[in-house]
Structure 1
Amino acid sequence: MSGLCKFRKTFAVIIIVCVSVLMFLYSAGTRIDEFGASLVDLYEPLNDTDIHTPCTIHPLDPWDVSLKPYIAEPSPIVCSDRFDLFYVQKDGRLALNKSVAKLHNIDIKKWRCFYQLIERLLGDVHLKFAEKVEFSSPVSIDSHLFRVTCQFNSLFIPSTVYDMAHFNPFYSNRSNERGNIHNETASTPSVIILGLDSMSRSHAIRNLPKSMKFLRDELQAYDFIGYRKVGLNTFPNLMPLLTGKSHGEFPEFSSNAAYADDMPLLWSEEYAKHMATFFAEDRSDITTFNLGKRGFFQVPTNFYIRPYLLAMQEFDPVFMSKLERPDSYCYGRRGFFDLMLEYLKGFLGHYTNKQTLAFFWENSLGHDKFNDLKLGDDLLLEFLQWMKSERNMDNTLLMVLSDHGFRIGGASLTHIGRAENSNPFLMVHVPRNLKEDKTIDQILTHNTKQLLTPYDIYQTVHDLLTPYDIYQTVHDFLSNKSSEERYVKTHLVRRSIFRPIPSTRTCADAGLDATHCTCTDRVPVSIDSKVVRLLAIRLVKELNKILEQDSNCAAVTLHNITEASVHYTLKNDLNVPEGLQNTFKLTKFRDNVRSAHDLDRTSGRYSVLFYTQPGSAYYEGLIDFTQFGSGDKMAVIGEPARLNKYGNQSHCVANSELRTFCFCVDLLKNGAI
């Protein structure tokens, strides 16, 4: 009898332990947020596969040991002058900078100087230079853009000693009458979006420490660690931000068949009709709306920098002597980033106390070299300090963000580098009246740790600028427990950062397709696996299908595989033969337990990194593999992503989408492989 009692007690203890473990596992799988009255508990999770799996957000380590070989001090930019020989005063007159003249021992009386007005013609390509007009400074110039040329009066042939393009920030050829523009107030705030290309959150931590500290400590900006890219490069990430739609919804523009004028961009919305608008992007050769595309037929905004960039390319800059042609970093003695910020300052200064909408995009610093972003920290900090002292930040929404991380070569080929590529930087300063609302502040703090995409940036700006009571809307949302917005959907839902974002949000809800969804962990797989090699061969076959579009492109072959990983398919999603289904009954608990009896060890979504020849192109491909079921067991997801630079390999094709993949046949004839 005593033996039976001991057995019962032991059995009871085992049952209690098992139940406790099950309860622990269950609670561990359910995220509970300490947020007010547990607002996020009202969200209904979805638990399907990959893009329907709730996303867990973890900050990346900016100093991961694998990045150490790539982190170095950048070489200084040679064009470090902060001021030019001529500048435009606040009264709109062009004047001589006497300090610069003295520094270079210039006697302006011995010079003859001329200006030429520059006019942008229809379309985004051509300019018209007016006749030269001789002047003595200061002089009023009624044009947003002009050229200044000076000659030295010698006894022999006059020599050109100065020749530069300039902009007048106090004059806009498309300027709205100031009376038509709303004043900047709490109910009509300004929005300034400051974007830097190829900057992950970790990359900003490493390279912009001063600017990040100022944003955090002085501007009380929110740091959104869950911000994710939705596309490969700049264009597919900026279109959702600027239009709220996927770039795929604009096929005519993407294929160079139409201009961008009719696209529903932020500055084209109804609320922007009474705002002063601004769009500036440097690097005229790779700009978002012009690389392989037509750009704009009409000038899109009140201030538009592209004509200024085109003017730079029309003639060689001169200051005392002939200078280098404009490149990614310099125009004459001035740095591009410095000039861009000066252009933005001019716009904001011209429309002081007026409601503004500005979109600023900087390519030159971060696009080509991994460490050069650091060269912009002091300039960005100075601009932010200027904003705080010269602008009424109480009525301004300021977003500092990026499109994706560094993605071509070097550090981007490491595991952590690829993870950074998907996690662009986003910090947001909100108007004071919103910051001081405790509920909205709680919501914003909660949202910094949730999944966020460019679609949500669009919705945030739209909600802020659309006339309605944002406070009442938020409180109505919180009190309405049956609101549809509380639920995670199986399709895209644009969500403002001023409303709680579900902790159970999925890639599908955030607008992320399977190619760019990073919500599930990958398991490393041997590159010697037969399955992996078959998948790599299939990916190369997919590449050749793309290359068949142009006979100028060579077919490619698999060279080698460098890395492979897999998101294993959940048991309830397998097409398991009926006779084997009973084997799987006990292999799954909350989608995270795999048993020793698991018969399927290969089905899942694989990421394969591989090289092809000719050209030594390096790709990452995503492909599904199903062990069971009939028909094709492999399905390529999206297109393989090029990871290293292709330089001049694709010079023979005009299609911007083919450039990433193409190795031109003529290079084979010349012996280049």
Structure 2
Amino acid sequence: MSLASVLNEEKSHICRTEVEALMNAESSPKASLLRAERESRAFVLDTPGCVIPAFAASHPSVARFRARIPKKFFCSLQRPLTEAEGLFLLLHKDRATEYDIREDHLQCEYQGIARVEQSFENFTISCDRKFRWNYFCIPVLLCYFLTSSTAWKHRDKLPVRLKRKIKLTETKTLIEEDGVMVTCHDGTFIVYRNVHYFLQPRRSKKKRDRYKKNSYGLSEKEERCGKLVFRDREASVLVMGIDSVSRANMRRNMPRTFRLLKDDLGALDFHAFNKVADNTNPNMAASLMGLTQEELKRTCQPVNTIFDGCPLIWRNFSDAGYVTVYGEDVPSVGIFHHGRFGFLREPTDYYNRPSMLASDRYIRHSGGQGGDAALCQGGAKSISVIYDYSLSVAEAFKDLPYFALYWSTGLTHTVVEWASAADEPSVEYLRKLNASGALEHTVVFLLSDHGIRFGDIRATYAGLLEERLPFFFALLPSWFRHSYPRAWESLETNTRRLVSNFDFHVTLRDILFAGYEEAAESLPPLAHGQSLFHEIPLNRTCEDASIPEHYCTCEHTHRVDASDKRLRDAADFVVEQLNRMLLDYPDCAQLNVEQRRSRRVKSPQRLTSREGKGHDSFSDLPDYTRTSALRNNTDVVQSIIAVQYSITEDQINITSSYDTIIDQSSLTSFRNRGAQLEATVRQQDNGFELTSDVSRINQFGNQSQCIEDSFYMRFCFCRELDFDLVA
């Protein structure tokens, strides 16, 4: 035996001896810490109601999805010629030489960016497809209805109006617009463009005056200075979202952000935050409205239409006097705009969408990475633009309660490793936010909508779990723990409980009414969710949390052979259901199963505690022993089958009734880009039942541009299109 082997064995023996000794001393605090650490590495969650396995970053199935070196790119090597500072636009003519132009030749002007609105009476579904140009403006109708396949093609048809040009003659210019686009040139060639955002006081003047009038406890000096007293009961709420990042991927590719949140800022890390729907919009509908997809349809979206009539919680905050803010960095795939209409009227007091649309049209680029990725807005990273906007809001309303929702998509939406590029700007943002003092009067939620939904990682079991377990952190002011000790204790407990978007919604409602402890007892219960300020039951299940079975990460699964008849029958059943629904879209081809890729069957048994069984986090599929009957329907459910399968064009049924001819070149280019779908069905009485939605886990590019239904776009293969998909 080598010396290294002897030393390793000795070290291992010492560690085992130390751990065993500590574990025998049950009253030892250190033993409890070691036990918790050991269990946390094996399980994301381990409760009587839900067990979720954990996969280490070095697990063979996911290790390759960790960026060894964080992704880096440069938006510009030059310093900006213009910057926003409060309500002023700064001009740096001394930087002209960096743009290969003499300072005395530099000419700059700015144009205000205004929103163009359409009336409710004349609202039509084609509202965003009509546009016109003239010298000074680009007016189009208000709402935004561009599908993913046409958004890039029609970037020049966005709902933005550019006002007349005004020359910049001073180094510091007061701006009265919400947003401006600056253009600099030498009289012939444009050398610089940028878009800047301004928080005009007129938009919040009424709320500020009302808040000042209702404030109490002002000293004479504070009255003279116009300073407002910020009250604990009206803490601001800041919701910052980063698209498509699981908690596991944050640990893997955003480690500095993860450590800063937990170690330095003391953020509450909710380990088992389980999404409730497929993609961004329905998950955020649950967070912001407390509605399921079906309830959303019944409430305000009977058809794909505007969201003006939907019960978004920021309206409740606005009615209570809060200033409201909503901003995103990639408008073409916004929460309420990707394949959807958005809003006819500005939904919040401050709405940066018009300026961001101008930015997307004129200065968006991929930072030299190729493709149309929205990595940069001019010389700044897209995510940094939304971070800076958030910091400006925090500074402008440090003495006035506000509710703000921000969403960043540019870096993280498509490729799992690109989350690493968000690590540095996120750390910088959090440090600035902390240094500003905003955390003393603001409840901050940092979250994602889901994990990465496409790519090779989704072919792994760990990737399936990650896609359903986005990150979710909460930062509360230091006074909260002392003012509301029971609520704080519940928050800490709930970091190790099964939680969902609906719980987040109820928690936002409680913040609005300061319902942290006793006050919450008078608030009416909501249809879904429980406030995180109150302890969630230890035996909570996905059903209790209103998490559909298809997205539930709690169930016990095990592998089955690919030839298993249940797997084949389930896949055929799902495709049959999809084909039946696609009959309403004759431009879409019918589908057949080409391959059944995953082989997992879920146990119908409800999970109980671990009963002392060990766990190897490096096995692809943990094998749990559980003995508990499924509530109320043991005799109905025999198995739940999770299926992935591919569909290739050469197997699509083309019937003569459609008189369609597809040439061989199209078939060849498409055959390797078949759809990968994922479904969960329940087997009962020798038949099957879809438990919820069907997920598309690879990208579909322009394959479905012949239809505009955001739901069926995932499954439609247009008959008359070139099937060379766009990534």
Smaller-chain TM-score bracket: 0.7 to 0.9
CA contact (8 A) 1:200 1:402 kept: yes
Aligned partner of 1:371 in structure 2 is 417
Structure 1 range deviating more: 192-201 or 522-531: 522-531
- Indicate whether 1:269 and 2:316 are aligned: yes
Among residues 706, 711, 714, which one is paired with 1:660 in the alignment? 714
Aligned partner of 2:697 in structure 1 is 643
Go from structure 1 to structure 2 and tell me whether the alpha carbon gap of 1:261 and 1:365 turns closer, same or farther (over 3 Å shift). same
Larger radius of gyration: 1
3-state DSSP class of the match of 2:694?
strand
CA contact (8 A) 1:116 1:129 kept: yes
Structure 1 range deviating more: 656-665 or 173-182: 173-182
Aligned partner of 2:60 in structure 1 is 65
Give the letter for the 1:131 counterpart: R
Go from structure 1 to structure 2 and tell me whether the alpha carbon gap of 1:314 and 1:172 turns closer, same or farther (over 3 Å shift). farther
CA contact (8 A) 1:143 1:171 kept: no
Q: Which runs of 5+ in 1 are unaligned?
A: 1-33, 35-51, 478-482, 486-490, 572-587, 593-599
Aligned partner of 2:73 in structure 1 is 77
- Indicate whether 1:625 and 2:671 are aligned: no
Aligned partner of 1:159 in structure 2 is 189
Q: 2-side partners of 1:162 and 1:259: how far apart?
A: 36
| Alignment map for 1:464-483 (pairs within 5 Å) | 464-467=511-514, 470-473=516-519
- Indicate whether 1:494 and 2:529 are aligned: yes
3-state DSSP class of the match of 1:345?
helix
Go from structure 1 to structure 2 and tell me whether the alpha carbon gap of 1:325 and 1:124 turns closer, same or farther (over 3 Å shift). farther
Aligned partner of 1:3 in structure 2 is none
Deviation, structure 1 residue 492: 5.2
Instruction: Give CA deviations for 1:234-255 in whole Å, capped at 9, x if unaligned.
Output: 1111001111122322328656
Aligned partner of 1:46 in structure 2 is none
Deviation, structure 1 residue 453: 0.4
- Indicate whether 1:388 and 2:434 are aligned: yes
Q: 2-side partners of 1:216 and 1:172: how far apart?
A: 38
Deviation, structure 1 residue 361: 0.8
Give the letter for the 1:163 counterpart: R
Q: 1-side partners of 2:250 and 2:295: how far apart?
A: 31
Give the letter for the 2:337 counterpart: N
CA contact (8 A) 1:312 1:326 kept: no
3-state DSSP class of the match of 1:131?
strand
Deviation, structure 1 residue 642: 1.2
- Indicate whether 1:119 and 2:114 are aligned: yes
CA contact (8 A) 2:494 2:532 kept: yes
Instruction: Give CA deviations for 1:430-472 in whole Å, capped at 9, x if unaligned.
Output: 122222344333222211110100111111111012155x343
Deviation, structure 1 residue 58: 5.0
CA contact (8 A) 1:143 1:172 kept: no
3-state DSSP class of the match of 1:278?
strand
Q: 2-side partners of 1:256 and 1:82: how far apart?
A: 47
Q: 2-side partners of 1:670 and 1:215: how far apart?
A: 43
Give the letter for the 2:327 counterpart: A
Structure 1 range deviating more: 538-547 or 222-231: 538-547
Go from structure 1 to structure 2 and tell me whether the alpha carbon gap of 1:93 and 1:667 turns closer, same or farther (over 3 Å shift). closer
Structure 1 range deviating more: 196-205 or 344-353: 344-353
Give the letter for the 1:308 counterpart: S
Q: 1-side partners of 2:725 and 2:444: how far apart?
A: 52
Go from structure 1 to structure 2 and tell me whether the alpha carbon gap of 1:181 and 1:550 turns closer, same or farther (over 3 Å shift). farther
CA contact (8 A) 1:196 1:363 kept: yes
- Indicate whether 1:168 and 2:198 are aligned: yes
Q: 1-side partners of 2:339 and 2:543: how far apart?
A: 30
Deviation, structure 1 residue 603: 2.6
| Alignment map for 1:44-193 (pairs within 5 Å) | 54-72=49-67, 73=69, 75-80=71-76, 84-90=80-86, 92-97=87-92, 100-101=95-96, 103-104=98-99, 106-122=101-117, 123-125=142-144, 126-137=159-170, 138-153=172-187, 158-170=188-200, 176=206, 178-181=208-211, 184-193=230-239
| Alignment map for 1:257-656 (pairs within 5 Å) | 257-269=304-316, 272-315=319-362, 327-436=373-482, 437-467=484-514, 470-473=516-519, 493-569=528-604, 590-591=628-629, 603-614=638-649, 616-626=674-684, 629=685, 633-656=687-710
Give the letter for the 1:646 counterpart: F
Q: 2-side partners of 1:379 and 1:613: how far apart?
A: 41
TM-score scaled to structure 2, two decimals? 0.73
Deviation, structure 1 residue 531: 2.6
Go from structure 1 to structure 2 and tell me whether the alpha carbon gap of 1:340 and 1:256 turns closer, same or farther (over 3 Å shift). farther
Go from structure 1 to structure 2 and tell me whether the alpha carbon gap of 1:494 and 1:535 turns closer, same or farther (over 3 Å shift). closer
CA contact (8 A) 2:443 2:476 kept: yes
Give the letter for the 2:713 counterpart: R
Deviation, structure 1 residue 231: 0.4
Q: 1-side partners of 2:48 and 2:113: how far apart?
A: 55
Deviation, structure 1 residue 297: 1.0
Go from structure 1 to structure 2 and tell me whether the alpha carbon gap of 1:410 and 1:181 turns closer, same or farther (over 3 Å shift). farther
3-state DSSP class of the match of 1:609?
strand
Q: 2-side partners of 1:523 and 1:290: how far apart?
A: 39
3-state DSSP class of the match of 1:269?
helix
3-state DSSP class of the match of 1:533?
helix
3-state DSSP class of the match of 1:147?
strand
Go from structure 1 to structure 2 and tell me whether the alpha carbon gap of 1:670 and 1:463 turns closer, same or farther (over 3 Å shift). closer
Aligned length: 576
Structure 1 range deviating more: 177-186 or 364-373: 177-186
TM-score scaled to structure 1, two decimals? 0.79
Q: Which runs of 5+ in 2 are unaligned?
A: 1-28, 30-46, 118-141, 145-158, 213-227, 607-625, 650-669
Deviation, structure 1 residue 121: 1.1
CA contact (8 A) 2:558 2:600 kept: yes
Instruction: Give CA deviations for 1:182-224 in whole Å, capped at 9, x if unaligned.
Output: 6532121011111111111101111221122221122211111
Q: 2-side partners of 1:64 and 1:355: how far apart?
A: 45
Q: 2-side partners of 1:670 and 1:243: how far apart?
A: 38
CA contact (8 A) 2:57 2:66 kept: no
3-state DSSP class of the match of 1:163?
strand
3-state DSSP class of the match of 1:443?
helix
- For the aligned residues, what is the CA RMSD? 3.3
